[in-house]
């Protein structure tokens, strides 16, 4: 083979070799036609704490929150020891009055959103009687937090708060199927309890189902979470997140958005796609015409977060539970990318 032939062969092969070495980029989030009155947030355990943080950070975006086995906003106060004690074991119980005062002060300072916007909110707090990880009085404090806000702020008289704490299940998200893991807390933390928690969450946040929920027929899409880093800052998330998009939403129908935050050790790296496929949200998403956003965390030892929890005690920075927190800033960008109108407005504000 002549040198010219060799050079020609390399010219043809080198691009193919480089393509084989470079990881193909993940999909972006689809831009949807979003009904701004139907944007909600939900979460389990650490994800429930993240949900209430998101609800208070962006009450102008979220019109409701569902909290499963989680406590009130601001519970940990930036201290891991408080998180593990007061905010999980409930000894001592969270000081709800103090937390409400702190929330109102943070809102007045612009670190949380305008709390008057909570007037349109529906709040659903779900807790299993057999939960040995998070004490019942901690979840009860979450409901009491919203009730106390409503009592102290006349503008919130129309806010709806529902406490559901008399069901027999452990520290998990119950699903409609039955099995022997309902009262335990084992991966993937979906308890086969004969109770469809996802369906109850949709009903509480969006109202009665417009049609029966059948098998999910939409598309579960992955997307590159790093594209959404605020100003390039690390939000301590996995490379890849997930979104379930019903066919109607992809075809241009006006749709709602439900953000669902997984619990600790429930991210895709830990349990595969069990949570994002089998928790029950996707089939209800089809019935309600709601896209479901499943952001994903990553485990780390610096900062210390070996169980891939959402930040509800301060590992990502001092402002973790406000709209200044890096995970909240990331979330705002994800919602804007999905097409949530108010998220795009908030992004432009200083």
Given this model, what pLDDT does residue 24 score?
42
Q: Is 185 a catalytic residue?
A: no
- Per-residue pLDDT of 56-101, as tens digits, reads 999 999 999 999 999 999 999 999 999 999 999 999 999 999 999 9
Do 143 and 161 contact (CB within 8 A), yes or no? yes
Q: Which of 38, 39, 94, 98 is nearest to 70 (CA)?
A: 94
Say what the pLDDT of residue 2 is: 43
* pLDDT per residue as tens digits for the range 178-196: 999 999 999 999 999 999 9
pTM of the model: 0.92
Cα 210 from Cα 208, distance rounded (Å):
6
Mean pLDDT of the 215-223 span? 97
Per-residue confidence at 317, pLDDT binned at 50, 70, 90?
very high
**pLDDT at 316 > cutoff 90:** yes
2-9, long-range: CB < 8 A, 24+ apart:
none
Nearest to 346 by CA among 112, 141, 40: 112
192 catalytic, yes or no?
no
Q: How many CB atoms lie within 10 A of CB 157?
A: 9
Q: Which of 107, 131, 196, 311 is the catalytic position?
A: 131
User: pLDDT over 90 for what percent of the chain?
Assistant: 91
Residues 6+ apart with CB under 8 A from 171: 45, 69, 128, 131, 132, 133, 134, 185, 189
Catalytic residue among 55, 127, 171, 262: 171
> What is the distance between the alpha carbons of residues 331 and 50, in angstroms, rounded to a whole number?
11
- Whether 55 is catalytic: no
234 bridge partner residues? none
Spot the catalytic one: 45, 121, 270, 316.
Answer: 45
- Check residues 234 and 214 and name the one with the higher pLDDT: 234
Q: Provide mean pLDDT across the span 48-62.
A: 98
Question: Is the CB of residue 56 less than 8 Å from the CB of residue 286?
Answer: no
Beta carbons of 258 and 292 less than 8 angstroms apart: yes
What does pLDDT average to over the chain? 93
Whether the per-residue pLDDT at 158 is higher than 70: the answer is yes
The domain spans of the chain are 34-338
CB count within 10 Å of CB 243 equals: 25
């Amino acid at each position: 083979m002549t040198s010219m032939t060799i050079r020609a062969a390399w010219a043809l092969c080198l691009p193919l070799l480089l393509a084989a070495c470079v990881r193909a980029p993940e999909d972006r989030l689809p831009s949807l036609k979003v009904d701004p009155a139907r944007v909600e947030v939900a979460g389990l355990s650490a994800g429930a704490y993240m949900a209430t943080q998101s609800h208070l950070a962006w009450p102008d975006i979220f019109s409701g929150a569902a909290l499963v086995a989680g406590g009130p906003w601001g519970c940990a106060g930036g201290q891991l020891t408080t998180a593990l004690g007061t905010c999980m074991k409930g000894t001592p119980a969270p000081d709800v009055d103090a937390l409400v005062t702190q929330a109102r002060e943070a809102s007045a300072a612009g670190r949380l959103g305008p709390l008057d916007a909570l007037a349109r909110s529906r709040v659903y707090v779900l807790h299993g009687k057999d939960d040995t990880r998070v004490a019942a009085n901690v979840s009860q404090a979450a409901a009491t937090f919203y009730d106390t806000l409503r009592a102290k702020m006349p503008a919130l008289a129309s806010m709806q708060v529902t406490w559901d704490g008399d069901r027999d299940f452990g520290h998990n998200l119950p699903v409609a199927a039955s099995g022997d893991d309902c009262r335990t807390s084992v991966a993937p933390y979906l308890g086969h309890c004969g109770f469809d928690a996802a369906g109850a969450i949709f009903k509480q946040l969006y109202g009665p189902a417009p049609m029966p929920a059948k098998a999910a027929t939409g598309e579960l899409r992955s997307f590159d979470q790093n594209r959404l880093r605020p100003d390039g800052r690390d939000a301590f998330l996995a490379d890849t997140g997930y979104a379930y998009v019903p066919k109607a939403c992809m075809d241009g129908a006006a749709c709602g958005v439900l953000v669902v935050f997984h619990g600790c050790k429930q991210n895709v790296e830990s349990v595969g796609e069990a949570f994002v496929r089998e928790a029950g949200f996707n089939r209800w998403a089809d019935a309600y015409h709601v896209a479901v956003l499943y952001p994903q965390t990553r485990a780390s030892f610096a900062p210390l977060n070996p169980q891939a929890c959402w930040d509800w005690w301060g590992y990502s920075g001092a402002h973790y539970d406000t709209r200044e927190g890096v995970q909240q800033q990331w979330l705002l960008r994800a919602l804007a990318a999905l097409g949530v109108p108010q998220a795009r407005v908030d992004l432009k504000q200083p």
